[in-house]
Structure 1
């Protein structure tokens, strides 16, 4: 089935602005995360920084402030790509390094890791999501299988893992490949079809089912959330004179550790000077089906549709 790209597809805008050039698309993804990390670092390391932005829902679900009987009221419908085992292993190592200097971090369970290819709907009731699911299932224009299996015939690669962060969470982010060597046998597709093309196409395929897509995330980003802040514990002074105040030295220790991790990732998992691509730093999205997921899935939960 051929795919006609709608004129108002938000992902097509960046592709057009980049002249449909994988190298330019990769640069846009890299610039987005690099500039954002610099901005967040300046904000977090400033003397005026008053503490982490805590996830108030997750606080009530996990940790010392857990409330028995509380459940996340936000229901969503999304399309995920699950990272392969070697990327999960890499994330486990990164999480361990972060936990070493920030023991109070909440870590995303490895089995829940995902990148959001498309957020179809968010923060709705169960019945509202159920209506969308029924629309999806009853579509005669396109099937769930055609959506889930699209990347198998349209492979895209993600490279250059890097820890991205802000005052509320951390993620392992990637950039679309742009002609670098590969450790995986090609299925006939090349890097001209990027991860951003995949997002564009999945957007249109979902809309072909009759579902109005209400995505918040159209920025050039391919990231897997790996940690969140649910407490200020470990980042505040305990003394009577300064209790509750931010310990900026502990904050700087974490930011410095992120910098050290990113240097290691670049030296060990990014394309090398001889042109080779380390196997453990490459993620071929088309090796697996996408996951159509519904429910309370903000932290990796929910159910497959």
Structure 2
């Protein structure tokens, strides 16, 4: 299926600025996450850093301050890509390494792991989301099946896994492939159609259904949230932040990233380890999800 790309599609802007070149797009994704990690590292290790930014909703849903019967009041309509088994296994390894130095971290359950291809609506009421869902269901211009199955016929690959972080959460992030060798899993791929092209196309497909898109996430990022902070436990002494514990966690992230690059990025012999390659939506397409954020 061919698409006419909207001139005001925010994802098309980066594609145009990158001359529709996968190598340039990959570089933009890598620069974004590397610069952000360095910025956050500097902020978190500064003397005036006073503690993690806790997820106030998640704190009421899980952990030591859990409130029985509490429901997240925020509702959303999102389009997700679920990671395949090899990426889930990689995330499990990373989560164990993080938990080793930060036992109080809240880890994203395996069954909830996802990357957000497109956030259609965020923090609305259940009724407002239902109105959008009914618009989607009644669309004849673009069907839900066409949206969900788009990556099956328009494959894109993600490579170079790396832990990205800030004061509130951690994620496993990726960069779009750019003509690196393919594994048997992907069956050969020229990579001209990238993950950013997929995001662009899904944006336009959703708008063709008649739904306005109110996405907050248009930056060059492909990430799966894997951990959040819901307590300062383990990082305080006598009610004050223990900077040595913070340093230990930041150092562990650095160690993990060195191992990921050495073991799961494209290798010097030209091969790509299967554990580090994600063919987006290859197994089940995309997931159109509505409901509570947490």
TM range (shorter): over 0.9
Task: State the 1:68 CA deviation.
Answer: 1.4
* Aligned match of 2:286: 290
Per the alignment, in what secondary structure is the counterpart of residue 241 of structure 2? coil
What is the rounded CA distance, in whole Å, between the counterparts of 1:145 and 1:187 in structure 2?
A: 24
* Aligned match of 1:211: 211
Distance 1:183 1:43, change over 3 A: same
What is the rounded CA distance, in whole Å, between the counterparts of 2:41 and 2:21 in structure 1?
A: 30
* Aligned match of 2:79: 79
Task: State the 1:83 CA deviation.
Answer: 0.2
User: What does 1:31-110 align with in structure 2 at a 5 Å threshold?
Assistant: 31-110=31-110
What is the rounded CA distance, in whole Å, between the counterparts of 2:102 and 2:187 in structure 1?
A: 42
Distance 1:218 1:162, change over 3 A: same
Task: State the 1:286 CA deviation.
Answer: 3.9
Matched, 1:277 2:265: no
* Aligned match of 2:256: 261
Where does the alignment leave 5 or more consecutive residues of structure 2 unmatched? none
How does the TM-score come out when normalised to structure 2? Answer: 0.98
Per the alignment, in what secondary structure is the counterpart of residue 49 of structure 1? coil
Task: State the 1:261 CA deviation.
Answer: 0.2
Task: State the 1:187 CA deviation.
Answer: 6.3
Q: Which string of whole-angstrom CA distances, capped at 9 and with x for unpartnered residues, describes residues 264-297 of structure 1?
A: 000000001111100100000141310000001x
How does the TM-score come out when normalised to structure 1? Answer: 0.95
Per the alignment, in what secondary structure is the counterpart of residue 159 of structure 1? strand
User: What does 1:152-301 align with in structure 2 at a 5 Å threshold?
Assistant: 152-184=152-184, 186=186, 190-237=190-237, 243-288=238-283, 289-296=285-292, 298-299=293-294
* Aligned match of 2:144: 144
What is the rounded CA distance, in whole Å, between the counterparts of 2:6 and 2:190 in structure 1?
A: 23
What is the rounded CA distance, in whole Å, between the counterparts of 2:124 and 2:190 in structure 1?
A: 38
What is the rounded CA distance, in whole Å, between the counterparts of 2:269 and 2:141 in structure 1?
A: 47
* Aligned match of 1:240: none
What is the rounded CA distance, in whole Å, between the counterparts of 1:186 and 1:253 in structure 2?
A: 37
Q: CA RMSD in A?
A: 1.0
Q: What count of residue pairs does the alignment treat as equivalent?
A: 293
Per the alignment, in what secondary structure is the counterpart of residue 76 of structure 1? strand
Contact between 1:153 and 1:286, CA under 8 Å: does it hold in 2? no
What is the rounded CA distance, in whole Å, between the counterparts of 1:189 and 1:250 in structure 2?
A: 44
Task: State the 1:184 CA deviation.
Answer: 3.0
Contact between 2:81 and 2:281, CA under 8 Å: does it hold in 1? no
Where does the alignment leave 5 or more consecutive residues of structure 1 unmatched? 238-242, 300-305
What is the rounded CA distance, in whole Å, between the counterparts of 2:2 and 2:115 in structure 1?
A: 26
